[in-house]
Amino acid sequence: MTKNGNSLDQRTFNKLSRLYIVALSTIALSVIISQVLVRNHLETQKSDSTVINVAGRQRMLSQKLTKEIVSLLVSSDEKNRILLKNKITATLYLWELSHTSLQKGNDSLGLPKQNSDKIKSKFIAINPVFETIQKASKAIIEKLDNATISVEELTSDIKKVTNNEGSFLLIMDEIVNQYDLEADEKVVWLRKLELSLMGLTLLILLGELVFIFWPAAKSVKATLSDLLFAEKKAKKMAFDADELSLSKEKSIKELRALSHAMDETLLFARVSPSGNLIHMGNKFSRLFKLSKFKKEVLFWTVLSSNENEQLLIEDLINSHKKTGWQGEVKATIKGDIAIWLEMSIVPYRPTEERSELLIIASEITDRKVAQIEIERLTEESFEEKISQQKIISSKIIENQEKEQNRIAKDVHDGIGQMLTGLKYNLESINMNDIEKTTLKIEHLKELTTNIIKGVRTATFNLTPPELSDHGIVPAITKLTHELGRLTGKEIIFFNKTGFNERLDSLVEINIYRIVQEAINNAIKYADSSHILVSLSHSQNILSINIDDDGQGFEPSKVKKVKNGDGGMGMTFMKERIKYINGRLFLNSELGEGTRVTLNIPI
């Protein structure tokens, strides 16, 4: 090669080196910027769940405060009044603290000081209602200090509390929904940011592939071609030493320079077709900690000390020594450290009588380890989702089977036997005996009435006729009345805003089943004696609250159902509310009862 050629290769090499540095710096910079942007955004979202929880608790505290104040109307005993006064004082303090902290921030509660303009406007709307209830509550507490105070003297303040409670709850629901909406908007923005950053990174990688790595590969190929040409030229010069000695000497120098460049910059080795190592570049030697080697050393024994890996590499070389090969290979260096190589096997003939294999590789250990970890995590996540879906499906089928068996038993044991009795009584009627016939007809009327009652009882837990005929409000009214009569619990339904509209049939049946499940949970598990189902609505939202005075629990300690042992009722409730595009909130404290809130768009 000429001096100009050497200078050109050096300039190309220097240019590629600079491009590699720019490429790696660009990728590093994009990763750093991505991390900074994502972390800054996540920092702003740390308090979202706390804000929503505290705002949701405000609704429960206002209900609790109202319930305790209303209880004064039926409590004439001085001891009970003192107890109620203490409860009202404690509830009022927590209610005031939460309300102030939501607007001005509170480090101990983990609440930020900033609110959006929409939140601030809603707090401006709710503050007069809050102050009215607050003043009335404080007036009641001050009056209770007088042991001789009568119930009539408290009535006006109690009415102020009860009259403003509904307005407070409606605006507070809008505040909670706005907090939740803003949190969702932050998540959506973060997703868009991540997608944009990912697209930018992919674009950078594509650009590097087109403008850096592909030209580099072409340059390496050109270098190999030049090396083969130089060796052929050196052989020719040996036969014409007198005339071409200077050219031969120059070519040998060029060949040595190329070999040195490959040894220092590439994982490069030369191997005989039988697998014996002929030459190993300096970078390759440093990676596998090989300082000297014998001529009879097999290439695969250098790459790995693992017998299975040696057999695999040996098979690759023997199978592709004529055709060449490119792919990934696992190797083990000294100290049993596993590394991954992206390796190419290139057959070539330095002379017509002799053939060799060029081994060119690059280390991809970090990338491969990351890829394996991603595949493992993806497989675990998929298996977990499949398992969870199987549990939910089996529970749904099991509940369906139980319900069908219950209906079959009710029909067989009750209605079936009564119909059989009705049949035999009809067959035994003797029209000639008027007196006995009259008695039997009266008995048949009573039996027919019992059959009708049995049919109504058997179909009560299916789809109540009130739901299909009159809508959700009459259906819930009938549900609370019947469950209260059957269980002996005080179950009250209160339609605060006089809602009487009809909804889509699927929406109504899902609302009915969620309310039914929430009441049954309060009866079975909460050990409650009083259950209040309250319904209110605004222009766009129908809100239903199910409150009980049971033992309560800590929602943060409730684990997700993974094995099907309990908790499926809550899972079904969440599935149903999701199906009708609604939201479900669960608020509970130990010893303070539980509130289930449904918000459904209308």
Q: What is the pLDDT of residue 418?
A: 63
407 vs 79: CA distance, rounded Å: 50
pLDDT tier for residue 15 given thresholds of 50, 70 and 90: low
Does residue 565 register a pLDDT over 50? no
How distant is the alpha carbon of residue 174 from its chain centre?
Answer: 25
Q: What is the pLDDT of residue 536?
A: 95
pLDDT tier for residue 584 given thresholds of 50, 70 and 90: very high
Strand arrangement, sheet containing 277-280: 277-280, 267-271, 356-363, 337-348, 325-333
Beta-carbon count within 10 A of 134 CB? 18
DSSP conformational letter for 305: S
Does residue 507 register a pLDDT over 90? yes
Cβ–Cβ < 8 Å for 295, 276: yes
**Alpha helix (H) ranges present in 416-547?**
417-427, 434-460, 465-470, 472-487, 505-524
Q: Residue type at 536?
A: S
Average pLDDT, the chain: 78
pLDDT in tens, 291-317: 666 667 888 887 788 888 888 888 888
Question: Of 560, 549, 559, 561, whose CA–CA distance to 589 is shortest?
Answer: 549
Work out the average pLDDT over 214-233.
Answer: 79
Work out the average pLDDT over 213-231.
Answer: 78
- Residues constituting the chain: 602
- Which of helix, strand or coil describes residue 353? coil
Does residue 424 register a pLDDT over 60? yes
Question: Of 71, 105, 100, 104, whose CA–CA distance to 88 is shortest?
Answer: 71
Does residue 237 register a pLDDT over 80? no
Q: Which two tokens stand for residue 228?
A: 């083969």
Does residue 258 register a pLDDT over 50? yes
How much of the chain is in helix, strand and coil states, percent to nearest 5?
A: 70, 15, 20
Greater confidence, 29 or 513? 513
Q: Where is mean pLDDT largest: 71-75, 163-167, 244-248, 474-478?
A: 474-478
Cβ–Cβ < 8 Å for 590, 551: yes
pLDDT tier for residue 3 given thresholds of 50, 70 and 90: very low
pLDDT in tens, 29-70: 777 777 776 666 565 555 677 888 888 888 888 888 888 888
478 vs 326: CA distance, rounded Å: 75
Dihedral pair phi/psi, residue 328, rounded to 5°: -100, 140
Least confident of 366-375, 519-528, 557-566: 557-566
Greater confidence, 594 or 41? 594
pLDDT in tens, 108-141: 777 777 788 888 888 888 889 888 888 888 888 8
Greater confidence, 334 or 14? 334
Is the entire prediction scored with pTM above 0.75? no
pLDDT in tens, 431-463: 777 777 777 777 777 777 777 666 655 555 566
Work out the average pLDDT over 1-14.
Answer: 54
Q: What is the pLDDT of residue 461?
A: 58
Q: What is the pLDDT of residue 499?
A: 94
